[in-house]
Amino acid sequence: MREACTSTCEKREVRLLSPLYAGKCGILTATLQYVFQTVILGRSAPEIAEKLEKIAAERLCDLEKLGSLLARCGADPLFSACPPYPVSFHTAAYVDYSRTLPHMLAADLRLEREILHSLDALGDALEGEAAETVRRLHERTRGYISRLQELMIP
């Protein structure tokens, strides 16, 4: 782990942002969950699978943006909720492996709401580029929630 942080952000910010990157309720988990669902729904609900695949691709971009920010902070973008310690690495056990569409969408909404809650909790704790990145992620997460709600079966 690099020791020096750039002026972009501080080590404290790395600790705040890392769970959002690869924690239990983080963007990596959401991305993996959408990919799993896309594969499962590919035959039975291809239209919904395609929509979830688009969200997965967008979440992957979010992951890259947050990982790049962590790198500019002087931290390797490890798939861990608490770098630089070699513990608490991401596990695919965080992914909800529900197999029915209503349960999948409910799991997705829960996860996206947890991510939104984490973004809200960061509130005024961040400044500069980190605060702007969190603001954009917040906006995008609200969009994912809206799109998922549109997919919910009445």
In this predicted model, what pLDDT tens digit does every residue of 20-78 receive, in sequence order? 999 999 999 999 999 999 999 999 999 999 999 999 999 999 999 999 999 999 888 88
Say whether pTM exceeds 0.85: yes
Tokens 């829960």 belong to 110
Q: Are 129 and 9 in contact (CB under 8 A)?
A: yes
Identify the structural domains of the chain with CATH numbers, from first to last.
Answer: 11-151 (1.20.1260.10)
| Whole-number pLDDT of residue 5 | 39
Q: What is the CA radius of gyration of the chain?
A: 16
Calculated CA dihedral for residues 36, 38, 41, 45, nearest 10 degrees: 160
Neighbours of 45 (CB within 10 A): 16
SS3 80: strand
